[in-house]
Amino acid sequence: MSRDSVLGWTLIVLVVISLFLSFTIWSQVPGNFSVLKMAYEDNKVDPTLLVKPEKILVYLGNSFHTILKPTSPFYDKSWSISKELLSAHSNASPELVGKISRDNFMRIKGLEVFFPTPLPANLLKQLFNIESGDFSLLDGKLIDSFILVDDGQLSVYLVDSEKSLYKIGKDSKQNLNSIIKEIEESNPPLYAGLTADVNLKVVGDVYVSLAPYELPMYSLKEEQIQEEQIASKFFPDFSITRRIQERDGTVIYTDGQQGLRFYGSGAFEYNMPVPKEAKKAQSFYESFVTAVDFVATHGGWPKDAYLSSYSEIKGASGPAHIFKFKIGVNGFKVVNGDDLISVTVEGNQVKNYYRNQSFSIKQIGILDLMTPVEALNTAVATKNIKAIEDIYPAYIEEQDELKPVWIVETEGMEVIIHSPSE
């Protein structure tokens, strides 16, 4: 090859390299990281995953009960069957039966599914594709649980937050007994109804296990923020996106319309003004699905996330809905934990999305809890409690650890009862 040919090919290679470097410089946000483009795929998530029951009460038909938590062997199967039966056999307009008395279900077999937070009746209807008749009787009602029982036929009930019982369906065809038989034959832990005594009033139905409790303890470790990866999910075109670092360490991304802020605490927040043409009124259900799908493609849903609260803000152009989500541990609540995620939906668009610092957990031991009766005696003796609405095991976050405790609900408060070894 001649000297001129070598020089010519060298020049061509240098031009190609120059063009490549120019493209790389101008197609990246300022900062030391590479571009990770994201295709905005229509990643749908089943919204019922965010309202999975915190517990399923199983009526065994012999005056005994058991309770399934998300870690229980038959929880997933019972939840799947319950959703199917609720959808398929809710075939009547709601009929008010009266105040619920669970004593009426003591001698029949059934499942009662408790939501982690009470749900608006119309949201429940749409989430589970209930095609019963006129639901107007339940307008403004919040639903705590639904009940499926075999009383000669399959009967379907809803229980609202005021403890009113509504019958919404009946059918002769059902497969409820088979799952209850499986649960019963597995020798599950039995639960008994708590009865009042001279020192303590029991409000409603409270069930406690007859077996001892032990739960794992965990250490907490902050997960590192993948700033580059997260930002790419909001800004598919980095060539028009600026990265700004403030003096306090906060990092902001913006393309002039939407903004993404990374805080030093490990949280991040997204804001997007909603244009007039997008301010179309959506139902509560539609806004909920919008929030669920948005999070699925902008950070994802961690295991054990659940809807913890919601609210509606009235505006001139229609309502905005705010949904907040917490995260549990193997189905148990972390009672002093902050919200993990908050999403505000206005029209058909997410206006604000805040996501807190995430943690990974590692088991560091097992803690034997006192019995529920001992926990109640401690609450009465040390906290001067006169009435109980519920008692259940949960976790508290303390000194970078998650520790199991008893929670006693009384008069709108949550009283924490530690293990004697703590």
The percentage of the chain sitting over the pLDDT mark of 90, rounded to a whole number, equals: 50
Q: Please, what's the b/e burial string for 256-271 (b: 16 or more CB within 10 A of its CB; e: otherwise)?
A: eeebbbbbeeebbbbb
pLDDT, tens only, 208-225: 887 778 899 999 988 888
Identify the band that residue 2 occupies on the pLDDT scale cut at 50, 70 and 90: low
Over the chain, what is the mean pLDDT?
84
What lies within 8 Å, CB to CB, of 352 at 6+ separation is 269, 270, 271, 272, 342, 343, 344
| C-beta of residue 346 within 8 angstroms of C-beta of residue 274 | yes
Strands 55-60 and 109-120: antiparallel
Q: Which helix H or strand E contains 291, and what residues bound it? A: helix 284-297
Are 157 and 248 within one domain? no
Whether residue 208 is contained in a domain is answered as no
- Scan for tokens 């520790």, then name that residue: 403
Contacts 24+ apart (CB under 8 A), 407-412: 407/333, 407/335, 408/375, 408/376, 408/379, 408/383, 410/379, 410/385, 410/386, 411/387
Q: Are strands 387-388 and 201-202 parallel, antiparallel or unpaired?
A: parallel
Does residue 371 fall inside a structural domain?
A: yes
Q: How many residues does the chain have?
A: 422
pLDDT in tens, 389-404: 899 999 999 889 999 9
Q: How many domains does the chain have?
A: 3
* Per-residue tokens: 78: 């019972």
Same domain, 353 and 373: no
Pair 104, 172 in one domain:
yes
Residue identified by tokens 């669970």 is: 102
Which helix or strand (DSSP H or E) is residue 380 part of?
helix 372-383
Q: How many CB atoms lie within 10 A of CB 2?
A: 7
Statement to judge: residues 395 and 355 lie in one domain: no
Q: Do 53 and 181 have their domain in common?
A: yes
**In which domain, by residue range, is 388 found?**
215-219+361-417
User: Is residue 111 packed enough to be buried (19+ CB in 10 Å), middle (13-18) or exposed (0-12)?
Assistant: buried
* Residue 5 clears pLDDT 60, i.e. is over it: no
Per-residue pLDDT reduced to its tens digit, 253-307: 998 889 999 998 899 999 998 776 666 778 899 999 999 999 999 999 988 899 9
pLDDT of residue 40: 27
- Give long-range contacts, CB 8 A cutoff, 24+ apart: 154-159: 154/85, 154/89, 156/85, 156/86, 156/89, 156/90, 157/97, 158/94, 158/121, 158/124, 159/100, 159/112
Q: Mark which of 334, 359, 384 sits at the end of a domain.
A: 359
Q: Is residue 112 part of a domain?
A: yes
Residue 8: pLDDT band (50, 70, 90) is low
Q: 370 with 345, same domain?
A: no
Per-residue pLDDT tens over the stretch 91-131: 889 999 999 988 888 889 999 999 999 999 999 999 999 98
Q: Is there a single domain that holds both residue 375 and residue 353?
A: no
pLDDT band at 319; cut points 50, 70, 90: confident
356 pLDDT exceeds 50? yes
Among 39-53, 173-187, 248-262, 286-300, the least confident range: 39-53
pLDDT at position 91: 87
Percent helix, strand, coil in the chain, to 5, is 25, 35, 35
Indicate the pLDDT class of residue 422, thresholds 50, 70 and 90.
low
d(Cα 135, Cα 158) in Å, to the nearest integer? Answer: 12
Report whether pLDDT(30) > 50.
no
Comparing 59 with 196, the larger pLDDT belongs to: 59
Residue at 14 is within a domain: no
| Domain finish residue from 316, 331, 359 | 359
State whether 113 and 148 are in the same domain: yes
Domain end point (choices 328, 359, 390): 359
pTM for the whole structure = 0.84
Minimal CA–CA distance to 60: which of 195, 234, 177? 177
Q: Residue 203 above 90 pLDDT?
A: no
Q: Is residue 56 part of a domain?
A: yes
Among residues 102, 79, 62, 71, the alpha carbon closest in space to that of 179 is found at 79
Does 388 lie in the same domain as 349?
Answer: no
* pLDDT computed for residue 137 by the predictor: 93
Let me know how many helices (H) and strands (E) the chain has, helices first: 7, 24
Q: Does one domain contain both 124 and 239?
A: no
Within a domain: 3: no
pLDDT of 13 reads 47
Say which range, 42-46, 137-141, 200-204, 338-342, has the weakest mean pLDDT.
42-46
Asked whether residue 70 falls in the same domain as residue 171, the answer is yes
* pLDDT value, residue 37: 27
Task: Assess contact for 328 and 304: CB atoms under 8 A.
Answer: yes
pLDDT at 367 exceeding the cut of 50: yes
The reply to whether 286 and 184 lie within a common domain is no
